[in-house]
Amino acid sequence: MAPRSKKKKPSFRKLLKTSNVKLDNKQRNRQFKKEITDKKHRKEQKKLRLAIKDASLKTPLPLERYKTRPEDEEEEEFLESLPSDMIDEEDLEQMKAMAQKASFLTRDLSSAGPVHAKKRKGEPQGPESYEQMPRKMKHMEEKEVIHLLPIKDKVKGLIPRSMEKPVVPKKDEEQEKDDIQPGLEQYENGDEAEARPTLTAEEQLKLRTQKLTEKKLSIASLGSDILSDPTNNIKKLKELRAMLMETDPFVAVTVRKLVMVSLLEVFKDIVPSYRIRPLTETEKSTRVKKETQQLREFEEGLVSQYKFYLENLEQTVKDWKEKKIKRSEAVSLKSYKGLAEVAIRCICELLVALPHFNFHNNIIVMVVPLMNDPIKSVSDMCCVAVKTLLRQDKLGQASLGTVKVISGVVKSRNYDVRPEMLMVLLCLRIKEVELKKDTVATAPKKKFMNYKDKQKNLSRMKRKWKKAEEKLDKELLEVEASENKEHKVKLHTETLNMVFLIYFRILKKAQKSVLIPCVLEGLAQFAHLINLEFFDDLLKVLQSLIESEDLTHRESLHCIQTVFKILSGQGDVLNIDPLKFYTHLYKTLPKLNAGASNDDISIVLQCIDVMLTRRRKQVTLQRSLAFVKRLSTLSLHTLPNATVGLLASNRMLMHTFPKCDILLDNEMQGSGVYMPQLDEPEYCNPQNTALWELHTLKKHYHPVVRRFAVHLCAGAPSEGSGALSVQLARRSPEELFEDYTAKDMTFNPPVAAPPTKKKDYFTIGSALLDDELKQQIEHVLSTEEEDAKLDFSAVLLPTSRT
C-alpha cells in the first residue's frame, strides 16, 4: 500500500482569513447540540426510573390451580341433582358440549404450554389472544371526581386531594311536570321550565327576579362599554351576542328578547355610514399603520358579528314557523311566538335604518315573504317597514332589490298573495325614467384647466386662486353627486320595468284575482311612464275589463284614470276615441253617494281634471254641460268634504268652459227636454236645464259648502263681493277634499249648534228681512271664519210662531 500523504498544517495567514464570527457560530452550535443530547438522555433516564418504580410496586399474584374448572364442577353438580327420568344420555352429552363451548375461560390455566407459541402451518390454530382474556360481566360506571385544593407537606410535598361528585337521581318526566308550580308559566310563557321541588311559588318568583336583574345589569354594562369605545371593545359585542343562546329556563325568553333589542340599538349606533368590503390578499399582506390595522380589525369583527346576529334572528323566525318539527329545551313552543315577533321587529328596524350597510339584500329577502304572513300583525309590520324604505330611498338601489323580490314571490305563489304586497309599490319615488337610449338626462361634466394652460394664460396670483377654486368645485361636485344622475335614472327605469312586468302578468293570467284593484291603481299612478309600445294592448285590456261589468266602482274609476293619463301624456299621438270611457264615468257618478265609499270621490275629482280640464280642446260643449249638471246633482247626497270637492270641480269647469253659465239662466237653449235618466252625455240635452241644486246647497249646514254655492250662483267671479277667499280659491279640488275630511267624526270647521226657540222668538226684526236682504248680507261675509261663527240661515229664518 502506498503511504498516506501527510496533511499540511495551514499557515498562519490562512488561519487569519477565517472569520472570528464563523468560529463563534461553530462553537455555539456544538454547545446547542450537546445540550439537546443531554436533555434527551435525562428524559430517558427519568422514564426508566419511573418504569422500575412501577414494576416494584406491582407484585404479581399467584395463579390458582384447579384440577377441574369451577364452571364444570357446578354444571356436573346441577346435572346430578336432576332426576334420571328427566334427562336422556344424549341430551346430557349435548348440554355438556354446549357448556364447554359457552365457557368464558377458554384457556386451561393449569397447562404449562407457552402462551405466545409460534403458529405453524397445518396445525389447528387455537383461539386468538383477545379471546383468551376474561370478559367483564357488569359495566361499572365511572364516577365523576371533583379535584380539591392540595395539601403541602414538608416531607411528602404536595398531596393532591379529590372527592366523588354526589349524584342527584333524575326524576321521571311526569313527576317533573307535577313538580312545576302552576304560577311559573306566566313568567316565561312556557310549559317546560324546570322548577325546584323544594321552592315555593314566591321563592321561584324571587329567584327569577334576581336572575333577571343580574342579566339586565350585564347586558347594560356590555352595551355601554361597546358604545363608549367601539373600536377597542368590539370583542365585547361577541359576549353580548352569545347571550342570545341563554339556556336558563327561568329567564331564557326574557333575556333573549332584551339582547335582541339591545344589539339592534348597538348596531344602529356603531355601524359606519358606508359599506364594508372584504380585503383582498394583496391588502392583507401589505404592512399598514397601527391605526389602519386597528380599523380593519374593527370592521372585520363588526361585519362578522352583524352577520351572526342576522342569522340568529332568521333562525328564530324559522323555528317559530317549523313548530311541528323543531322543539327547544329552554324555550317552549308557546314562547317562540313572542320571540319571533321581537325578531321580526328587529329585522324591520334594520331594513329601514341601515339600507347602506352589508347584508341589506338578505334582510329584504327575509322581510318580503313575511308581508304575506297569515298573522295580520306580522304582515302589517313588514308592510309598514317596506313602505318606509321605498319612501326614503333616494338613489333607487334598495327599491330595485325590493321590487325584484316581490316579483319573485308573486310569481312563485301563482298570484295568490295579499293585496297589501302590491299596494306597497305605490310608495315608489319614480319621477323620471329612460324612455329612449338617446334621451338620457346626463349632467355635463365640468372641465378643469391643465398645468400648461395655467402657465400660459394665468399669472402667479391667478394660478393660486384658480387652484383653490377648482378644489372647491370638486368638493361641491362630490356633495351634489351630479355624476350619479345617470346611474339613478337607469335604476329607476329597471325598477319601473319590473313593476309593469308584475302588473301585466296579473292582467294577463289572473283577471279575476283580488289583486286587480291594486294593479289598476298602480297603473293609474305610473301610466305616464309607460312606453308607447304597450298602449294599444293595454287600452284593449282595460276596455274589456270595463265592459265585463265584473269590476267595482272604484276599480272601473281606476281603469278610466289610467286610460286618460296615458292619452294626456305620450298618448297624444295616438288616434283613439275615448267616448266609451266618458260614457262610463257619466253613468257611474250617480252611484257614488254618502252610503257608498267616500274615498271614491277623490278618484272622480282626478278623472274630471284629466278628462275635461286638460283635454279642453277635445271636449264638446254638450259634454261639459252634462258633466257640470251631473256633478251638481251628485253634490246633494255626499258628505261635506265630497260636496266641497265637487263644487270646486264645477267652478274649474266654469272657468275652463265659459259658456257653461247658461245653466244659471231659466231660459231654454234650443229644442228638446233634459233627460237625466239617459246615460249619454252628448244626447241628454243638458242646455235645457238649470243648476237649481245650488239654491238648495245655499242652506247647507256646512259653512264652506254654503260659501261655494253662493259663489257659483254669482257665476264664479274672480273679483267682487261674490268671489271666494284667497285660501279657498288657490286650493285644488283634491286638496279641499282632504282638508275638510270628516274621518275623525268631527266637522271641519266646527258647525254651530242650532239656536233655541226662545232666541228665535225674541229675534229683533227677523220677520222683516226678505230674501234680497239675506243675499246682500251673505255677499258681505268674505271670510270663512265669520261664516262659521254666525249661522245666518238660522238667524234670518224665523219660526212659524206669530
Summarised one tens digit per residue, pLDDT across range 94-143 is 655 554 544 434 444 444 444 444 445 454 555 555 556 665 555 555 66
Q: DSSP of 580-609, one letter per residue?
A: HHHHHHHHHGGG--TTS-TTHHHHHHHHHI
User: Could you give the CA distance from residue 390 to residue 519 in angstroms, rounded to a whole number?
Assistant: 18
Evaluate if residue 63 carries a pLDDT over 60: no
Query: pLDDT tens digits, residue range 448-506?
Result: 556 666 656 677 777 777 788 878 877 776 655 545 677 788 888 899 999 999 998 88
Evaluate if residue 791 carries a pLDDT over 50: no
More confident residue, 536 or 718: 718
User: Nearest Cα to 535, choosing from 580, 583, 572?
Assistant: 572
Predicted TM-score (pTM) above 0.75? no
Is the Cα torsion angle 67, 71, 72, 78 positive or negative in sign?
Answer: positive
SS3 145: strand
pLDDT at 264: 93
Kindly give the interhelix angle for 360-370 and 290-321, rounded to the nearest 10 degrees: 20
| Residues above pLDDT 90, as percent of the chain | 23
Give a yes or no: residue 293 inside a domain: yes
Lowest mean pLDDT among 550-554, 666-670, 703-707: 666-670
pLDDT at 303: 92
Rounded to an integer, the average pLDDT of 547-557 is 84
Lowest mean pLDDT among 88-92, 239-243, 540-544, 743-747: 88-92
Nine-digit cell at 777?
248680507
Give a yes or no: residue 685 inside a domain: no
Nine-digit cell at 353?
335604518
Alpha-carbon dihedral 385, 390, 395, 400, rounded to 10 degrees: 100
Query: pLDDT tens digits, residue range 752-774?
Result: 776 665 444 444 344 434 444 45
User: Could you give the CA distance from residue 396 to residue 408 in angstroms, rounded to a whole number?
Assistant: 19
User: Could you give the CA distance from residue 726 to residue 524 in angstroms, rounded to a whole number?
Assistant: 31
Give a yes or no: residue 192 inside a domain: yes
pLDDT at 480: 55
- Give 361's pLDDT tier (boundaries 50, 70, 90): very high
- Give 745's pLDDT tier (boundaries 50, 70, 90): confident
Rounded to an integer, the average pLDDT of 134-159 is 71
Listed residues 302, 336, 358: the one ending a domain: 358
Nine-digit cell at 68?
377441574
Residue 97 backbone phi and psi in degrees, to 5? -65, -45
Domain extent at residue 801: 752-802
Evaluate if residue 683 carries a pLDDT over 80: yes
Evaluate if residue 29 carries a pLDDT over 80: yes
Q: Evaluate whether 633 touches 686 at the Cβ level (below 8 Å).
A: no
Average confidence score pLDDT of the chain: 76
pLDDT at 784: 44
Domain count, the chain: 2
- Give 558's pLDDT tier (boundaries 50, 70, 90): confident
pLDDT at 546: 84
More confident residue, 214 or 73: 214
Listed residues 358, 383, 405: the one ending a domain: 358
pLDDT at 136: 55
Give a yes or no: residue 756 inside a domain: yes
Evaluate if residue 352 carries a pLDDT over 90: yes
pLDDT at 327: 46
Nine-digit cell at 468?
383653490
Give a yes or no: residue 510 inside a domain: no
Evaluate if residue 178 carries a pLDDT over 70: no
pLDDT at 67: 47
Give a yes or no: residue 125 inside a domain: no
pLDDT at 750: 78
- Give 93's pLDDT tier (boundaries 50, 70, 90): low
Lowest mean pLDDT among 178-187, 385-394, 776-785: 178-187
Give a yes or no: residue 583 inside a domain: no
User: Could you give the CA distance from residue 515 to residue 447 in angstroms, rounded to a whole number?
Assistant: 51
Evaluate if residue 251 carries a pLDDT over 50: yes
More confident residue, 583 or 794: 583
Rounded to an integer, the average pLDDT of 438-444 is 41
Evaluate if residue 234 carries a pLDDT over 60: yes
Evaluate if residue 317 carries a pLDDT over 70: yes
Give a yes or no: residue 60 inside a domain: no
More confident residue, 666 or 398: 398
Evaluate if residue 296 carries a pLDDT over 80: yes
Nine-digit cell at 608?
274630471
User: Nearest Cα to 562, choosing from 618, 518, 512?
Assistant: 518
Listed residues 331, 358, 385: the one ending a domain: 358
Evaluate if residue 652 carries a pLDDT over 90: yes
Evaluate if residue 367 carries a pLDDT over 80: yes
pLDDT at 534: 77
pLDDT at 457: 66
